[in-house]
A = this chain, B = another copy of it.
Amino acid sequence: MVEGVDFRLDWRAFDFRTLGRRLMAINLSDLAAMGAEPRHALISLCLRPRLPVASITALYRGIREQARRHGFTVAGGDLSRIDGPLVLSATLVGEIREGRPMTRSGARPGWWLAVTGNLGNAAAGLELLQNGQRATTTLERRLIRAQLDPVARVRAGKILRASGIRVAGDISDGLASEVIRIAQASDVQAVIIEAGFPFDSAMQSEYGNRKARLLALRSEDYELICAAPLRRIKAASARLRSETGIRLNTIGFIRRGRGVLRVTVGGKIFEMRSAGYEHFR
């Protein structure tokens, strides 16, 4: 995470402890998408000499919170001076005791695509942050938290894998870019059906259906997407709901071909291009 690109110290809701949690959430979400258990973290920081030590103590408090919650240790790392933006880098090593990690490849025509949780909350939170608004309602706090302090779906990932799902990814870089990667890695076409998007009901009624869908398309939600035959999706969905309360919603399907199509609620079909964050545009 690079200061000025991935976070800003002048955001109203910014604090280093939350940043520490988010640094780990990024990596936790990648492990979650493989169905792996986090084990050891390496933290490398590039810091300005004048940064208060209290900021780093707070950062590590956030990292430690994630370590406790998810049962990994901070095993090492590195520390450098930088005369420029802060750079925080984490490597998280995970373990799969039996079987294989879920990957992006292997999705087959006839399979369905499903996502955990809700779409669009992180993008709504980012809008609030960029407008400099202070969160006043429960909903606003939840939306800002989805952007600044996301919870990685580590347990959900393990349950998906244990339910026999083999193809998955995480959509924290955006739904479109992850579906494009799955379609490419599997050499198939993916079709996304907007009408199936799952929303936080308070967000949906606050923003309306149309805006909620727009937010979902550019959001960086810490949710998982998976592809599997329908019976597996259903089995995983039932298990996920009973063990964690998290929903798994079907949002599209796989067919022969290439690329990703998006079917709007009005029935129009568009070629979907990456709407996630692209660093070098």
**Interface residues in chain A, defined as those with a beta carbon under 8 Å from any beta carbon in chain B:** 1-2, 4-6, 42, 44, 46-47, 49, 78-85, 87, 89, 91, 93, 279-280
Contacts and interface: CB of A to CB of B under 8 A. Distances in A.
B5 A82 contact: yes
A6 B81 CA distance: 9
So how many copies of this chain end up in the complex?
2
A2 B80 contact: yes
B42 A91 contact: yes
Nearest to A53: B280
A1 B46 CA distance: 9
A5 B89 contact: no
A1 B84 CA distance: 13
Nearest to A91: B91
Given A87-B87, A91-B91, A93-B93, A80 B46 contact: no
Given A5-B82, A44-B91, A46-B87, 16 more contacts: A2-B46, A2-B81, A4-B82, A4-B83, A4-B84, A5-B81, A6-B80, A42-B91, A78-B89, A79-B279, A81-B279, A82-B84, A84-B84, A87-B89, A89-B89, A91-B91
Given A44-B89, A89-B44, A91-B42, A1 B82 contact: no
Contacts of A91: 42, 44, 91
Nearest to A40: B93
Contacts of A82: 2, 4-5, 84-85, 87
Contacts of A44: 89, 91
Contacts of A81: 2, 5, 279-280
For the complex of A and B, 7 pairs with smallest distance between CB atoms: A84-B84, A91-B91, A81-B279, A89-B89, A87-B87, A84-B85, A2-B82
Given A49-B280, A280-B49, A1 B87 contact: no
A6 B93 CA distance: 26
A78 B78 CA distance: 17
A263 to B, nearest CB: 31
A15 to B, nearest CB: 21
A85 B48 CA distance: 12
Contact of A83 (B1, B78, B85): B85
A33 to B, nearest CB: 13
Contacts of A46: 2, 87
Contacts of A78: 89
